[in-house]
Amino acid sequence: MSIISSVCELRTGKAKIMFPKKINTAIDKHQVTQINVTLSGISGDEHVYEECIDEDRVILQCAPEHYSRLKKHFPESSHLFVNGGFGENLTAEGMNEHNMCIGDILQIGKVKLELCLPRQPCFKLNHRFEQPSISRYVQDNAQTGWFYRTLSEGVINLGDNIELLKRPNPEWTIAKVQHYLYVETDNKQAAEKLVELEPFADEVKDVFKHRLASNSAEDWSSQLSNESARLEVRVVKIIDESDKVKRLLLSRTDLGPLPAFTAGAHICLHLDNGLTRAYSLCAPLNNDCYEVAVGLAPDSRGGSKYIHEQIKLRDVLQISEPANLFTMTRSKKQIFVAAGIGITPFLVMIEEAAANDEAFELHYCVDDTTDYQFQSQLAKYQDNVFTYSLEQPLEINKLLDNHQRGTHVYTCGSPAFIRLVKEAAEHWSPDNVHFENFSAESVTDANEFMVNIQGSEQQINVPADQSMLNALRDNGIEINSGCETGRCGACCVDYQGEVEHKDSILTKSERKRCMIPCVSRAKGADLTISLP
């Protein structure tokens, strides 16, 4: 046991709307001389998001030395780099990410704490310090801070000594953990050790467990910037797969390399008519080109119709970097079930399954089993591809009747098609059933309702014929979005009230607190949301 520092500053704060973009945040905290620490948090210290109120995020500490370094790197924002800028609760000299370790047990005043979690920075830091890249910078340079859980409750006073009682994992400094979390993301050996690190918070353990299971790393871009990075591309080739499906080949205008992606990934096309639409990448990265296939929807609201009628060879488009909400899990056998244009993600998935020596089957519902889209591309896998039509329908219940261990099923299509597959797989483990809608659930008998913005007095009316997302935009509230069909989750907000969920991305537990406003609506006359 040794005294390693003392408490220099203590802070708590309330959630409020801040910054020009009207963001609800609790980052602005004021100094106090004493805090009361419980198992679930600090008395009077508010959080915007429910998931931030848990036993692994009781106290946030940041190293004060970071501010002087950040002033040199971002001199135009030097006046903003002061203690408390990161929204920390506790400040102490000499403690940082390079000398504090996961599992450290500290005694501060009457309170005993355990260090359990590196702080994951988010886009709000960019607004706080008026620097669009600072969240990425502090993440990459291990200047984020860390969280403690409470082992024994009590009061911490300004000036209390900080004693290190126990250090069970001296090899796992916060900086080292962050290196494997954000930089060397493909280190399987480190991931295997970190999932077994006992004091480590489950939130981050789950990240490493997912990497081991899926053999892929997550994309932190949306959390760091609140919007996906954009690339400028040129349409270098257009292929008519049929009279209703066009395939676009896209290459960067600066001839630079395109970001890599994994099977199931999509990109968002930001169209000149103001719409943003998400499309699955339908071929492996080849010759520095992305390939997307766009089916002309009969009830197109301007996305597919615009692409089919207006996009020409050599046109320049803005796209997002690839994101993957439909990842594959490594398994003994993969079953892919597609209808129509829902085939697109599976064109890459079958390549990945074959490359990993995994058994796979593609069950593809088409108009004509003798002449269908992407037939030539699928020809080399003819022993694994089974096609169906109205004359030869897919017996989905028979196909999925027997769930063999180590088998996963993936499906993509219309909401109605997805529903059929999910119902046929109800007896399967939910972890083995994966789906992605390519269109939103239809809304009938939509009601008009009022949206209240938490932390402000603003109320917004949402007409029956307008999406909640567009109503918010019309009233000056910008929320990041992607597909606007309920499948990507980019516009997700927290809510209070009752919601008619129409998305295809949120889980049952997530729907208890989150909604997707591009497709979902209030069940009743009003709803309260928290802005991201």
Distance between CA atoms of 43 and 265, rounded to whole angstroms? 43
Reported as type and span, the H/E element at residue 212 is helix 202-214
pLDDT tens string 144-172: 999 999 999 999 999 999 999 999 999 99
Residue 502 or 113, more confident = 113
Contact 487, 325 (CB under 8 A): yes
Distance between CA atoms of 229 and 289, rounded to whole angstroms? 17
Contact 343, 375 (CB under 8 A): no
Of 347-351, 392-396, 470-474, 503-507, the least confident: 503-507
Confidence of residue 203 (pLDDT cuts 50, 70, 90): confident
Residue 221 or 6, more confident = 6
**Assigned token pair, 450:** 């009022």
- Mean pLDDT to the nearest integer, 40-58: 79
Q: What is the DSSP letter of 49?
A: S
- Mean pLDDT to the nearest integer, 4-8: 96
Query: Under DSSP, is residue 292 helix (H, G, I), strand (E, B) or coil?
Result: strand
The pLDDT value recorded for residue 190 is 94
**Of 195, 504, 276, nearest in space to 492 by CA:** 504
Distance between CA atoms of 46 and 76, rounded to whole angstroms? 30
Helices (H), ranges, 392-433: 396-399, 415-424
**Of 394, 391, 326, nearest in space to 361 by CA:** 394
Residue 334 or 480, more confident = 334
**Assigned token pair, 423:** 């119902």
- Mean pLDDT to the nearest integer, 124-146: 88
Produce one character per residue of 245-255: b if its CB has 16 or more CB atoms within 10 Å, e if not.
bbbbbbbbeee
Confidence of residue 217 (pLDDT cuts 50, 70, 90): confident
Contact 519, 503 (CB under 8 A): yes
Q: What is the DSSP letter of 218?
A: -
* Entry field: residues in the chain: 532
Top mean-pLDDT range of 11-15, 124-128, 412-416: 11-15
Confidence of residue 7 (pLDDT cuts 50, 70, 90): very high
The pLDDT value recorded for residue 480 is 74
The pLDDT value recorded for residue 270 is 86
The pLDDT value recorded for residue 224 is 62
pLDDT of 52 above 60? no
Distance between CA atoms of 43 and 41, rounded to whole angstroms? 6
Q: Is the dihedral of CA 162, 166, 170, 176 positive or negative?
A: negative
The pLDDT value recorded for residue 499 is 94
pLDDT of 249 above 80? yes
Structural domains of the chain in order of their starting residue, each with its CATH number: 2-217 (2.40.33.20), 227-320 (2.40.30.10), 333-437 (3.40.50.80), 449-530 (3.10.20.30)
Q: Which long-range contacts link 380-383 to residues 24+ away (Cβ below 8 Å)?
A: 381/350, 381/354
DSSP secondary structure, 65-128, as one string: HHHHHHHHHSGGGGGG-STTTT--SEE-TT--TTT-BTT-EEEETTEEEEEEEE----THHHHH
Query: Under DSSP, is residue 336 helix (H, G, I), strand (E, B) or coil?
Result: strand
pLDDT of 329 above 60? yes
The residue type found at 145 is: G
The pLDDT value recorded for residue 213 is 86
Confidence of residue 20 (pLDDT cuts 50, 70, 90): low
Reported as type and span, the H/E element at residue 241 is strand 230-242
Confidence of residue 131 (pLDDT cuts 50, 70, 90): confident
Give, rounded to a whole angstrom, the gap between the first and last alpha carbons of the chain: 42
The pLDDT value recorded for residue 221 is 61
From residue 89, give the alpha-carbon distance in Å to each of 130, 139, 257, 522. 22, 19, 42, 36
How does the average pLDDT of the chain come out, rounded? 89
Distance between CA atoms of 259 and 478, rounded to whole angstroms? 27
- Mean pLDDT to the nearest integer, 118-147: 89
Distance between CA atoms of 481 and 503, rounded to whole angstroms? 13
Residue 163 or 276, more confident = 163
pLDDT of 222 above 70? no
Top mean-pLDDT range of 14-18, 69-73, 386-390, 477-481: 386-390
Residue 254 or 381, more confident = 381
pLDDT of 442 above 80? no
Distance between CA atoms of 399 and 158, rounded to whole angstroms? 66
The residue type found at 478 is: E
**Assigned token pair, 63:** 């190293």
Confidence of residue 292 (pLDDT cuts 50, 70, 90): very high
With pLDDT > 90 as the criterion, what percentage of the chain qualifies? 60
pLDDT of 49 above 70? no
Distance between CA atoms of 60 and 58, rounded to whole angstroms? 7
The pLDDT value recorded for residue 170 is 96
